[in-house]
Amino acid sequence: MGLPLIVFDAAYGENERKMRIDMMNDAAEMLEAAGLKNITAYNDESKHPGIGIHEMGTARMGRDPKTSVLNAHNQMHTVKNVFNTDGACMTSASCVNPSLTYMALTARAADFAVKEMKKGTL
């Protein structure tokens, strides 16, 4: 039997391809507006998802178990002793590294878990 495994199948779709081209063009335009010269934009589609970004949104946080996996404490709705504090809980990302946010989510979830364990509810 063994342990159950989660299998991910991730790929870029048409919308992601269009967004890459738009980002590439916007970046070149901003660099030109800043006074840079000889800008060469590129779109390397050979890279697979995850090579240089933080994937987010695969285990969304929300109030309704029908539309989200995690509650406000990053605790699974259906498995109360499982907490997920990486970027999966976020539905979007900004243009900065989210590591400090992950650390804050982890600290908050751990604090909640300890309090629940002391109450005997977890």
Largest CA distance in the chain: 64
C-alpha to C-alpha distance for 7 and 46, rounded to whole angstroms: 22
Which residues are CB-contacts of 40 (< 8 A; sequence separation ≥ 6)? none
- The CB density around residue 61, as the number of other CB atoms within 10 Å, is 19
Catalytic residues: 54
Torsion angle, alpha carbons of 84, 86, 90, 95, to 10 = 180
